[in-house]
């Protein structure tokens, strides 16, 4: 069974000058455990596609199924169950600035906790949760930073906390929206290794701005352009011509 | 840990206050039921509507005349209190420090102290003193507003003059202009649009304040409410309260429109002196005439024609002499400890009630929490959510549009005379103010962290606890402390209408003609308010400055005036 099955999905949002088609008739299948890179110029609709995949947006038209269940037919509670099985890493992770790294990591568990436990965890978390969060922070290399407020951490450290939060969430699917775009090259390599470590054995869909990194690390590459799927091929078949046509307009504008 | 200590201290203070206040909550259900029956229908008979109309006219007259007086007073005091003109900075630096400069610097400092005193003593206390000095009627009300609002305006004017961009000031000074020339050519033109905006805002506050001055006999709509309460004409009370709310809302709307124009002009760099840019210049003469006519009517409504009555000023002078020297005997001071303590307790308990009720109402009033349409509705349908939102917003608006002192009268019906009525009244009004501020703070929290938790499967309440609350809590604490400061001012006067505390002691001593004691009490109120300001500043600064921007001048006005800014 597929994890994701998109059939002719449209997404429209209200822009200042009328409705904007972010996605047009997008069809895509993702199998369990598959690693897929999304490539394309900025504004092509990659972020919108990821927000549809993590079930925080609804398609305007078409069908979006997660493990065979049409997401538009789910209740709020069922949607939350789906969401807690999908971990998302955003380009600029928005941690809660006044909470500590440990508390931000614990946020990954919210989807499993009831109201009482989440209230208690905010004030005095259970020792087993603290231990699990500590392990997650160790894994991402933030040993000793558990008590630091999120807004005192560097950009790279915040991205690590976001990964630790995903570890706490222990999802079946990991989505990432240009996770390294705002990091310097050395950090990118470190964090990429970490992220691929974390996503081993899980389904992983990532929007990538670094084409070389995408081609090296992902077996399957999907090109998105102007809200449509331009190509969907194994990484080995991505030719320079294909890439040029994908980024063509951008190149012309830049030149 | 600092946070935990603060929370523990607040809880301890609340418990001590509840135990020690002598406030024994007891509800008189029958009186409340009688009130509820009597309130409907409101009295809309033509004869009474005439009374209401006259009372509104007099209230507006008091407010306008009071504002006019406070400008006349406040502008020179504000100039004198501006540090850069007389005490420090480039204008003064090169000056030879002679006797005249020293005298001016001292006068400038003294003016700041005077302004602080004028605004720290609540307007209702000023009104009580003027009522004793001049007799019942609107005149003492206008004078009281003139005095207390001059204290606020003077301070704000001084801050605005101090805060103008310094380049033109320095340039003119370097070219040999005198201090007053610099003021007229460089400081005033830059500050004028804001001065106009704050003055209008002050007028708005004065309308609110004028409505309750009648409780101590200073005329206007408050006097009518008081009278109808005493006559058990609850239908009339409702009509008067509704009329008052309408007047306040109308003033807010009018003032906001005018202020918006001044502020736009400030942004566009046009000065008030040259005339605001937007469709105003041509009709300027008409506007001036209109304001003069309005002012004349206001002064007439506020009873200023009677000021020339023979013996009136002499009578006031005789009263003023009796205020001095204040009674500082040990026995009297000792007897003030209890009311002082009661006043502090009233403010703390009132604020606690406000936090609890306001906080509970703020959650359904937070649009981002309740009206989020991106997910299918839970066990509450969309209609129910919308109803909860609209209902809580409406209730909050109602709670805050009725002034504390009117709430005191209503609470006395329910719980009897005494400090509990005062605390409950403050609590109800505060709930309306804080509830709205809480809801808006929660709505304005940065969305991205909340959205990330939603993506991880968190429920609404979890998002509230883990993302909205942590981002909002510093601001919420700041607002709450600011409100407590305001409530302390109010709690010194709730006693004037039967709510206990220092106000009651003041009222009794004035009634008995012990004016030397009354002036001691006024001093005590001043000290109490000053100490609280200082204390709250100390607590608030490290807390608020960490995340929120420093309070704007508008917030300073609000804090200084002790009048709710939230409409």
Whole-angstrom CA distances from A13 to A10, A22, A72, B418 are 10, 7, 17, 58
Boundaries of every domain in chain A:
1-85+177-194+208-255, 95-170
- State the nearest Cα–Cα gap between B432 and chain A, in angstroms: 26
What's the CATH code, domain A1-85+177-194+208-255?
Answer: 3.40.50.300
Q: Is A247 on the interface with B (CB under 8 A)?
A: no
Predicted confidence at residue B545, as pLDDT, reads 44
Q: Which residue from B377, B465, B474 is facing A118, i.e. has the nearest CB?
A: B465
CATH superfamily of B14-43+327-567: MetI-like (1.10.3720.10)
How far apart, in whole angstroms, are the C-alpha atoms of residue B349 and residue B20? 11
Token pair 């598959």 in the structure block, residue: A34
Q: B456 and A96 in contact by Cβ < 8 A?
A: no
> Is A13 in CB contact (< 8 Å) with chain B?
no
- Measured between CB atoms, which of A76, A92, A115 is closest to B378? A76
Cβ contact, residue pair A110, B462, below 8 Å: yes
- Interface contact B459-A115, CB threshold 8 A: yes
Residues of B in contact with A161 (CB under 8 A): none
3 state SS of B322: helix
Give the C-alpha separation, A61 to A68, whole Å: 17
Does A133 contact chain B (CB < 8 Å)? no
Contacts of B375 in chain A (CB under 8 A): 76, 79
Q: Are A115 and B462 within 8 A, CB to CB? A: yes
State whether A111 and B376 contact (CB < 8 Å): no
A to B CB pairs, distance under 8 Å: 95
Tell me which residues of chain A, numbers 88 to 107, contact chain B at a CB-CB cutoff of 8 Å: 88, 90, 92-99, 103, 107
Measure the N-to-C terminal CA separation of chain A; round to a whole number of Å: 45
Chain B residues in contact with A165 by the CB 8 A cut-off are 456
Q: Which residue of A has its CA nearest to B378?
A: A76
Nearest Cβ partner of A56 from B454, B471, B473?
Answer: B454
A31 within 8 A of A201, measured Cβ to Cβ: no
3-state secondary structure of A17: coil
For B133, B513, B514, the CA distances from B322, given in Å and listed in that order, are 10, 9, 9
SS (H, E, C) B59-92: HHHHHHHHHHHHHHHHHHHHHHCCHHHHCCCHHH
What is the pLDDT, as a whole number, of residue B274? 41
Q: Are A110 and B375 an interchain contact pair (Cβ–Cβ within 8 Å)?
A: no
Amino acid A153: pLDDT: 92
Residues B306-343: tens digit of each pLDDT: 777 777 888 888 888 888 888 888 888 988 998 999 99
Cβ contacts of A99 on chain B, cutoff 8 Å: 466, 470
A98 contacts B471? CB cut-off 8 A: yes
- Contact assignment for A84 to B456 by CB distance below 8 Å: yes
Residues counted in chain A = 255
- Per-residue CA distances from A145 to A148, A179, A187, B452 (Å): 5, 21, 18, 21
Report which of residues B304 and A233 the model is more confident about: A233
Question: Whole-model pTM?
Answer: 0.84
pLDDT of res. B92: 78
Q: Give the fold, CATH level 3, of B57-304.
A: MetI-like fold (1.10.3720)
- Test the A interface: residue of B452, B468, B476, B543 with most A CBs within 10 Å: B452
Could you tell me whether strands A203-207 and A86-89 are parallel, antiparallel, or unpaired per DSSP bridges?
unpaired
Which residue positions in chain B have pLDDT lower than 70? Answer: 1-2, 21-25, 261-283, 378-379, 540-567
Alpha-helix residue ranges (DSSP H) falling in B163-220: 166-174, 179-182, 188-213
Contacts of B1 (CB under 8 A, 6+ apart): none
Q: Is B288 exposed, middle or buried (0-12, 13-18, 19+ CB in 10 A)?
A: exposed
Q: For testing the chain A interface, which of B456, B467, B469, B478 should be mutated: the one with the most A CBs within 10 Å?
A: B456
Confidence of residue A83 (pLDDT cuts 50, 70, 90): very high
Residues of chain A contacting B467 with CB distance shorter than 8 Å: 96, 107
Of B448, B462, B470, the CB nearest to A94: B448
**Structure confidence by residue, pLDDT tens digits, B238-288:** 899 889 888 888 888 888 787 776 655 554 444 443 444 444 555 677 878
The Cα B438–Cα B472 span in angstroms is 9
Q: What is the pLDDT of residues A107-148, one digit of tens each?
A: 999 999 988 999 999 888 999 999 999 999 999 989 889 999
ipTM of the complex, rounded to two decimals:
0.89
Rounded to the nearest angstrom, the minimum Cα separation between B8 and chain A is 14
Predicted confidence at residue B99, as pLDDT, reads 84
Phi and psi at residue B320, in whole multiples of 5°? -60, -40
CB–CB contact A88 B456 (8 Å) = yes
Contact B154, B77 (CB under 8 A): yes
Question: What are the structure tokens assigned to A14, written together?
Answer: 């209200």
Instruction: Tell me if B413 sits within 8 A of B494, measured CB to CB.
Output: no
Supply the pLDDT for residue B21.
65
């Amino acid at each position: 069974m597929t994890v994701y099955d998109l059939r002719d999905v449209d997404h429209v949002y209200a822009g200042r000058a009328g409705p904007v088609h972010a996605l047009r008739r997008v069809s895509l299948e993702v199998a369990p455990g598959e690693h897929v890179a999304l490539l394309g110029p900025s504004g092509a609709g990659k972020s919108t596609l990821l927000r549809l995949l993590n079930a925080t947006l609804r398609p305007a038209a078409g069908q979006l199924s997660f493990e065979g269940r049409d997401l538009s037919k789910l209740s709020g509670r069922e949607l939350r169950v789906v969401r807690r099985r999908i971990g998302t890493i955003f380009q600029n992770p928005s941690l809660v600035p006044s909470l500590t790294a440990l508390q931000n990591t614990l946020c990954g568990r919210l989807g499993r906790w009831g109201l009482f436990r989440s209230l208690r965890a905010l004030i005095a978390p259970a020792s087993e949760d603290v231990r699990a969060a500590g392990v997650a922070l160790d894994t991402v290399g933030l040993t000793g930073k558990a008590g630091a407020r999120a807004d005192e951490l560097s950009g790279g450290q915040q991205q690590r906390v976001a990964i630790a939060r995903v570890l706490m969430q222990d999802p079946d699917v990991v989505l990432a929206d240009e996770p390294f775009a705002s990091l310097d090259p050395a950090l990118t390599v470190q964090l990429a290794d970490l992220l691929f470590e974390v996503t081993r054995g899980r389904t992983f869909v990532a929007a990538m701005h670094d084409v070389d990194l995408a081609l090296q690390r992902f077996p399957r590459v999907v090109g998105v352009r102007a809200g449509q799927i331009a190509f969907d091929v194994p990484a080995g078949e991505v030719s320079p011509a294909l890439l040029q046509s994908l980024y063509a307009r951008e190149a012309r504008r830049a030149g | 840990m600092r946070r935990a200590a603060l929370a523990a201290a607040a809880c301890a203070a609340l418990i001590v206050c509840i135990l020690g206040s002598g406030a024994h909550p007891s509800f008189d259900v029958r009186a409340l039921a009688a009130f509820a029956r009597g309130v409907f229908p409101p009295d809309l008979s033509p004869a009474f509507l005439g009374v209401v109309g006259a009372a509104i006219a007099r209230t507006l007259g008091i407010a306008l005349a009071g504002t006019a007086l406070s400008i006349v007073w406040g502008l020179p005091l504000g100039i004198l209190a501006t540090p850069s003109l007389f005490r420090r900075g480039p204008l003064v630096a090169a000056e030879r420090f002679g006797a005249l400069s020293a005298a001016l610097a001292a006068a400038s400092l003294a003016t700041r102290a005077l302004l602080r005193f004028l605004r720290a003593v609540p307007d209702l206390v000023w009104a009580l003193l003027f009522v004793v000095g001049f007799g019942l009627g609107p005149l003492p009300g206008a004078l009281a507003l003139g005095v207390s609002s001059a204290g606020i305006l003077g301070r704000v004017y001084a801050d605005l003059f101090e805060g103008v961009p310094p380049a033109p000031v320095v340039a003119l000074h370097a070219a040999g202009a005198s201090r007053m020339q610099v003021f007229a050519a460089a400081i005033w033109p830059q500050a004028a649009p804001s001065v106009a905006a704050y003055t209008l805002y002050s007028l708005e506050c004065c309308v609110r304040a004028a409505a309750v001055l009648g409780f101590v006999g200073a005329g206007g709509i408050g006097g009518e409410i008081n009278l109808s309460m005493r006559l058990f004409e609850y239908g009339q009370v409702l009509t008067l309260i509704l009329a008052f709310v309408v007047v306040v809302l109308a003033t807010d709307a009018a003032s906001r429109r005018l202020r918006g124009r001044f502020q736009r002009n400030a942004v566009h760099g046009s000065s008030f002196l040259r005339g605001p840019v937007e469709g105003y210049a041509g009709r300027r003469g008409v506007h001036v005439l209109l304001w003069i006519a309005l002012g004349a009517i206001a002064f007439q409504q506020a009873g200023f024609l009677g000021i020339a009555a023979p013996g009136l000023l002499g009578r006031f002078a005789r009263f003023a002499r009796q205020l001095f020297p204040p009674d500082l005997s040990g026995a009297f001071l000792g007897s003030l400890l209890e009311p002082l303590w009661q006043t502090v307790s009233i403010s703390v308990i009132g604020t606690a009630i406000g936090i609890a009720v306001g906080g509970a109402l703020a959650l359904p009033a937070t649009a981002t929490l309740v009206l989020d349409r991106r997910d299918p509705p839970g066990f509450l349908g969309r209609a129910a959510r919308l109803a909860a939102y609209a209902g809580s917003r409406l209730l909050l608006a109602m709670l805050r549009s009725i002034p504390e002192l009117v709430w005191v009268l209503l609470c006395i019906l329910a719980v009897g005379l005494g400090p509990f009525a005062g605390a409950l009244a403050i609590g109800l009004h505060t709930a309306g103010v804080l509830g709205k501020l809480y809801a808006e703070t929660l709505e304005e929290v940065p969305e991205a962290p909340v959205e990330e938790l939603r993506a991880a499967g968190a429920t609404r309440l979890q998002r509230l606890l883990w993302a909205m609350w942590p981002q909002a809590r510093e601001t919420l604490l700041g607002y709450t402390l600011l409100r407590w400061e305001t409530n302390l001012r109010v709690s010194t006067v709730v006693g004037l209408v039967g709510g206990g505390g220092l106000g009651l002691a003041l009222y009794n001593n004035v009634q008995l003609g012990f004016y030397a004691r009354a002036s001691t009490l006024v001093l005590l109120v001043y000290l109490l308010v000053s100490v609280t300001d200082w204390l709250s500043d100390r607590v608030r600064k490290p807390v608020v400055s960490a995340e929120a921007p420093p309070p704007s001048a508008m917030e300073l006005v609000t804090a200084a005036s002790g009048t709710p800014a939230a409409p």
